[in-house]
Structure 1
Amino acid sequence: MEKFYHFLTLAGIVVYWLLVAGVTLRVVLKRRAVSISLAWLMIIYILPIVGVICYFLFGEMNLGKKRAERAKEMFEPFGHWFNQLNDCNAHSPETMGRHIYKIDQLCNHRLSLPALSGNTLSLQSSPQDILHSVINDIENAQTSIQMVFYIWHPGGLADSVATALIQAAKRGVKVRLLLDSAGSPRFFRSPWYTMMRDAGIEVLQALEVSPWRIFLRRLDLRQHRKIIVIDELVAYTGSMNMVDPAYFKQNSGVGQWVDIMVRVTGPSVNVMSAIHGWDWEVETGRRMLPSLPECSVEPEEVQNPIQVVPSGPGMPEYLIHQVLTLAINQANESVRITTPYFVPSADLVETLKMTAQRGIEVELIIPHKNDSMMVQWASRAFYTELMQAGVKIYEFYGGLLHTKSVVIDRQFCLVGTVNMDMRSLWLNFELTLAIDDETFTQEMYELQQSYIEQSYRVDFTEWQKRSFYSRFLERVFYLFNPLL
């Protein structure tokens, strides 16, 4: 019996060694940033067995076989729809400002998706104003309402939105609602889910979480977009989930979430509708491409083009990351960034450092307290090198600053759903608007300034005095960069 147990022990060691060796080869041979590969190797070797399991669960882009096949088949017909937008007069590269011109070129070459003019934009920063505006547009809907959200959390004005959707469905409006399974579990356990379905609303769980599928699809790949499209005339996107902050995560100790949404009319609404159609087809296999926009933009009108930039499995890799890098590299005066989760890639860190080192004012505004302890400590691991390069870092004390925005030279901005972390920039289904509208951008800049007024700038001298314990936690959680 003793020999048998000895044999089992040796066999277990051999199997484990072969498993680790195989995963190591997989990590090394996979084409990705060296920093990510090194981080994964450290996790695998520092956390025996657990590290290998984590790699199987989170280590590679795995949408699931059926969804991956759909996404591959969808790319050509959606690309054809996008490409037709180049023929309408809302796409006029000759009138574009320097900031968006190259972004239009990038997105057009990689996704056949051009920037379109003739839009109107409204920046909304109060949760009550946002939710009342959405409710009003729903109540005026005539034909269709399409929504996709990462989180729908019942309570407060979010329930009023749900009621408005039910009433719209009862009067014949076609309502389609796509919610991330991991982000919205409370909604799917609430009576609202049943009431909506009883009213005729199509409600789907995106990327459904199931213990039977943990090794078949990457679990932390999430549907993180926030899109509302009403009658293909009005659209919303931004950082705010379908929540009333006064009823959301009140016990987390970070304060109320601070968000924005952008209300859009014009040709870009149809593009956002097409992105919703992409997400719907990935889940269901049913194609719902919208009609092409009218694109009736007169030459004498103010152009203010918008580039809609989607990302996610099936779409060109790292597109939003490329747009962000391109935008920052074009800065001549200033770059101001707000993000709740700051765990950037090595390339993005170098871009920020180089921008500051060439004399551009670079400001980073992030929450003082975060709802993710791991992210909070990992973010601080970047402070020293960024401040040494000249980047100004502000910690916001007015709640959990959840706004995702970048303002370049006070003339051009990016707003949307994308955090400055690896998951958002390299993995999730996300959406960003690149906006060449100086009036709107100035509004965004002034809102960012109000965030700075509720923040404290991190002093480099004082930062250097932090404890060994803090430094240790920063480095430990930095190692988990690929999981954040």
Structure 2
Amino acid sequence: MSAITSFLDHYWPHLVFLTSIIVGAVAAAHAAMNKNDVRAAIAWVGVILASPLLGPLLYLIAGINRVRRDQLSSHRSRLIKDYVHSAGEPVPDVSPMAGAQFASLRILGDQISRFPLHNGNHITLLDSGDAAYPAMLEAIASARHCIALQTYIFDHDRIGLQFAEALHQAQERGVMLRILIDSVGSKYSRPPIIHLLRRYGIRAELFMTNPMGLRMAYANLRSHRKVLFIDGHLGFMGGMNIRETFMVSLAGRKANTDTHFRIEGPLATQLFAAFANDWEFTTRERLRIEDWCKTTPQAPLPHVPARCIRTGPDRFIAATHNVLLGALAVAQRRVRIQSPYFLPDQTLMGALNTAARRGIQVDIVIPGRNNLRLVNYAMTAQLAQIIQGGCRVWRSRAAFDHSKLCTVDGGWSYVGSSNLDPRSLRLNFELDMEVYDQALAAQIEQRIDHEIVRSDAVTLQSLQAMPYLKRLRNRIIWLASPYL
């Protein structure tokens, strides 16, 4: 024993050095072999080589895609087809509902999404929590058969407790329940509400539980999807978490705003298919279509063609990115975008600027006051590139708006949970929908235009007028934008 101790005392610096070289080489090789984005691969290899001990630790925590390989197996694709193969009416041509230019975009969607474009959907826009939460609670209270709820944040606050109590009452009525909350988002309030749900006897689980038990909000793959599915035919989706800060009646003048959507028709079944896929990934329990979608009454008129688009760090990693590139390519008149976190990569930024240079009016609305300070700094540092390309950027003077909205030519809309930042486009599991309908696009455009009226135009002059130290700070933070 003394010989071993003597050996370690004498050679420990050499052993540490040798271990760091081996660990660093293994981590660097893993990053080079598994990162498909060359920028991400170069960045991680650089971090690992610069610090062969700390770098591999950071890569272990934040750099490895821990989505199990069976997420990509063929039976997952069959699972989705089981839920959607017979639901809804096929759409032969989207031109009458949206415009002739969208025919090729529909073909792109067919290639990108596992979900077919179906007619027979009735979609209602719900403006912020004061409209969305009562509608969702009413739907839960009227549920008679099943409820599936997935969300990123489910706060233990006044509105969260109302949802928990409504779910508890549904459980007491014999309604079948499954609740899926992201493991990072569940920690945004204390105590996490999942403990209360489980005390009620509700089957509630956490998505992508962190084995280290830490919050690490920016070092984890996570589900950013928001889905509520009820009784086989009714659904809600959009950008809204469950938080009282989105209700004027509870938060008062400090309330934030957001947009959610109530859905009746085959699109609701697609919402459930996405939920069921995540639930099986998390729990290994397969939810059968026969048990959850027994009733499919016809949705009220008017009907619109729509489909879900899933994206995440799996086979769907570039889905939203590719859909948006396609939409910008077919635009003929105008593009309106509203996003709380606007950090497009160079490819998407190039598409926006190209659209503007073709004479398309491109309006982008971002918050004047952001809830994520570092993201706001990075956004500001990048705005000059967008404005130089001919896009118009507006900073809202109103309350922080968490909406993720996009319309093209007043005929096509893309809404849901995805932000236009690297995390949403590459790391998060997101759920959006594309809708070919002029009426819904007009509603969304009206909402964005109302925000523009309450906004200040961002110009190259206003950006240049910022103090040098603030501009330098913004650019330094911008360098880390892929990790924000």
TM-score range normalised by the length of the shorter chain: 0.7 to 0.9
The one of 135, 140, 148 aligned to 1:138: 140
**Residues 400-424 of structure 1: per-residue CA shift (max 9 Å, x gap):** 2210011111221111000111111
Once the two structures are superposed, residues 146-185 of structure 1 have per-residue CA deviations (whole angstroms, 9 ceiling, x without a partner) of 1000000122333222222111111111121111111012
What CA deviation, in whole Å up to 9, does each residue of 1:317-367 have, x standing for no partner?
311211121112211111111111122222111111211121111111112
Q: Which runs of 5+ in 2 are unaligned?
A: none
The alpha-carbon deviation at position 189 of structure 1 amounts to 2.5
> SS of 1:147's equivalent?
strand
Q: Deviations over 1:356-386 (max 9, x none)?
A: 1211111111122322222112212211111
1:342 aligns with 2:346: no
Deviation digits for residues 201-234 of structure 1, max 9, x if unmatched? 211111112317999xx95100110000111221
Deviation at 1:14, TM superposition (A): 4.9
Asked whether 1:60 is paired with 2:64, we answer: yes
- Equivalent positions of 1:147-166 (< 5 A) are 147-166=149-168
**In 1, Cα distance between equivalents of 2:247 and 2:213:** 32
164-173 vs 472-481, which moves further: 472-481
Q: What's the counterpart of residue 388 of structure 2?
A: 388
| Secondary structure in structure 2 of the residue aligned to 1:93 | coil
The answer on 1:226 being equivalent to 2:230 is no
Tell me which residue corresponds to 1:279. 278
Shift in CA distance, 228/99, structure 1 to aligned 2, threshold 3 Å: farther
* Offset at residue 130 of structure 1 (A): 1.1
Change (3 A) 1:213 1:402: closer
Q: Is the 8 A contact 2:47 2:55 kept in 1?
A: yes
In structure 1, the residue matched to 2:210 is 209
CA contact (8 A) 2:28 2:49 kept: no
After TM superposition, the structure 1 stretch with the greater mean CA deviation from structure 2, 257-266 or 23-32, is 23-32
Contact 2:151 2:224 in 1 (8 A): yes
C-alpha contact (below 8 Å) 1:57/1:214 kept by paired residues? no
Describe the shift of the 1:271–1:137 C-alpha distance in structure 2 as closer, same or farther (beyond 3 A). same
**CA 1:13/1:286 → structure 2, altered by over 3 Å: closer, same or farther?**
same
Amino acid at match of 1:357: R
Structure-2 residue corresponding to 1:200 = 201
Note if contact 2:187-2:215 (Cα within 8 Å) is conserved in structure 1.
Answer: no
- Return the alpha-carbon distance in structure 2 between the equivalents of residues 265 and 155 of structure 1: 29
Match of 1:172 in 2: 174
Secondary structure, in 3 states, of the residue corresponding to 2:379?
helix
Alignment CA distance shift 1:465-1:186 (3 Å): closer
Q: How does 1:283-294 map to 2 (within 5 A)?
A: 283-291=282-290
CA shift in 2, pair 1:174/1:101, >3 Å:
farther
Name the amino acid aligned to 1:278: N
SS at match of 1:124: strand
**Normalized against structure 1, the TM-score is what?**
0.87
| Secondary structure, counterpart of 2:482 in structure 1 | helix
Equivalent positions of 1:369-384 (< 5 A) are 369-384=369-384
1:17–1:287 CA distance, 2 compared to 1 (3 A): same
Task: Give the Cα–Cα distance (whole angstroms) in 2 for the partners of residues 47 and 361 of structure 1.
Answer: 47
**What secondary structure does 1:382 align onto?**
helix
Residue 371 of structure 2 aligns to a residue in which SS?
coil
Structure 2: how far apart are the matches of 1:426 and 1:145? 29
- Residue in structure 1 matching 2:37, options 29, 33, 42: 33
Tell me how far apart the structure 2 counterparts of residues 37 and 146 of structure 1 sit (CA, whole Å). Answer: 37
Letter in structure 1 aligned against 2:262: R
User: Structure 1, residues 388-447: CA drift from partner, whole Å, max 9, x if none?
Assistant: 111111112322221001111122111100011111111211101101111111011111
Contact in 2 for aligned 1:116/1:305 (Cα 8 Å):
yes
Instruction: State the match for 1:90 in structure 2.
Output: 89
Bigger shift: residues 254-263 or 410-419? 254-263
In 2, the alpha carbon distance for the partners of 1:354 and 1:6 equals 64
What residue in structure 1 maps to residue 397 of structure 2? Answer: 397
Task: After TM superposition, give the deviation of residue 26 of structure 1 in Å.
Answer: 4.4
1:351 maps to what in 2?
Answer: 351
SS in 2 for 1:209: coil
Q: Normalising by the residue count of structure 2, what TM-score does the alignment of the two structures yield?
A: 0.87
User: Deviation per CA, 1:76-101, whole angstroms, max 9, x where unpaired?
Assistant: 3224326624xx66112234544654
Count of matched residue pairs: 471
| Amino acid aligned to 2:132 | I
Q: Cα 1:44–1:480, aligned 2, differ >3 Å: closer, same or farther?
A: farther
Superposed CA deviations along residues 119-169 of structure 1, whole A, max 9, x for unmatched, are 111111131121111111111111111100000012233322222211111
Distance in 2, matches of 1:230 and 1:297, equals 14
What amino acid sits opposite 1:69 in the alignment?
D
Aligned-residue Cα RMSD (Å) equals 3.3
2:355 aligned counterpart, secondary structure? helix
- Aligned partner of 2:78 in structure 1 is 77
What code does the residue aligned with 2:462 have?
E
Change over 3 Å in CA distance of 1:476–1:168 after alignment to 2: same
Q: Give the gaps of 5 or more residues in structure 1.
A: none
Q: Which amino acid in 2 is paired with 1:75?
A: R
